[in-house]
A and B are shown apart, each in its own frame.
Chain A
Amino acid sequence: MYWIALKMLTGDRSKYWAIIFGITFACVLIAEQTAMFCGIMLRTTSQIRDIHDADIWVMNPNLRYIDDLKPIADTAFLRVRGVNGVAWAVNLYKGAAQAQLENGNYQSVILLGVDDATLVGSPRELILGKVGDLQLADSVLVDEAGFHYMWPGEPLRLGKTIEMNDHRAVIVGIFKASYTFATQPIIYTRFDRATLFVPATRRSLSFVLAKCAPGERPDVVAKRIRQQTRLQALTQNQFSWLTMSYYLERTGIPVNSGSTVLLGFIVGTAIAGQTFYLFTVENLRQFGALKAMGMSDRRIVRMIFVQAAVVGSIGYCLGVGLATALGLILQAIRPIMSFFLPWQVLVLTGGAVLVIVLLSSLLSIRRLLVLEPGMVFQ
């Protein structure tokens, strides 16, 4: 029986491809926009994810996202170290600095100062140089994208100098970093030096990075730190979600992406639904003949669902495939473009396709259920 449904479906090539086009179009828009949205959201947390050494971030209780710079007392790390279940805790400075290049231009940079002694929190993937060189005088590390941003067209090389807050800084290493939301260059240095690269303030400690003792759960230890220090202590995952929540609530990004997704859904439903319905209406006599010959309504409904499932599956595969290819190509051309396609986006797109084909087939089914088999005699 299903082969009859499939032959009927593919028999009218133009409508068959029009239905698939509608679903594919919706899929591409939904998957592409959602993946770009996820990519942007992911970028808001890139600085958190790029620090691998620590399990817990301790910060000002009023801090709402990673770039919300609210310092804490310089002795906070000592209080964190005293909490049961903490293996170690170190300082991390995070701030925004103005770097003056050799040509006199200024460039805003993200400045990170890691613990002087241990260098915990330093980048792991260095392209040139080594982390240990941060112990050298005036030394800093810069990310690859930041290097190209500050010195466009120049090959990567060490030894270049910049000035921050009238202090000289020498680039002793270039590392790979995830793209940030604001795409500013990222500069790593030692904590004590970082405080010199920005104007002095009463408090300079941004975060305390803590590691759990073996066998301790980060969320449990974080809760303990919160209770004992009155500071905000979050696991890496919790801090990422806090940051993303801020961008979700306080920026227009979700609305912009959401409206494109909604548009894709509506247009896809309209094209696929209308074409599928037209396909059914144009085949009413054939369906009427099938009903006259004794095909039950239940089997007709199953035929429609099979047809819908086939065009839905093909449209989904084509749509997701195209969206992925498009994302990867655009990213290859412009690496700065954000594109992240987790399995949740595939599920979401699949759900949208399911709704589209259900809506499309329900229109057709409704028409066929009221169809009298006797119409074939008229």
Chain B
Amino acid sequence: MKRIVIAVAGSEGKTEYRDVQILPGTQARDVLDRLGLAGFQLARPDGGAFGHTDDLYEAVADGQKIYATKADVEAGC
């Protein structure tokens, strides 16, 4: 089991879910669903974003802070 912190980007630190415990096999979508963060994605600590079905447990360290950001942001030209 790992403990992580999920912070919502843009909330100025006001929305943070501390002590989120995840078990092996937990996917990014499992955490987002549980926290009611529909339309968000989780940012990878080393850059990029987690796909909804990516294994979150394998990719994060115990105690790490992960940011949830709106998935609809997109550049255009």
Do A and B make up one complex? no
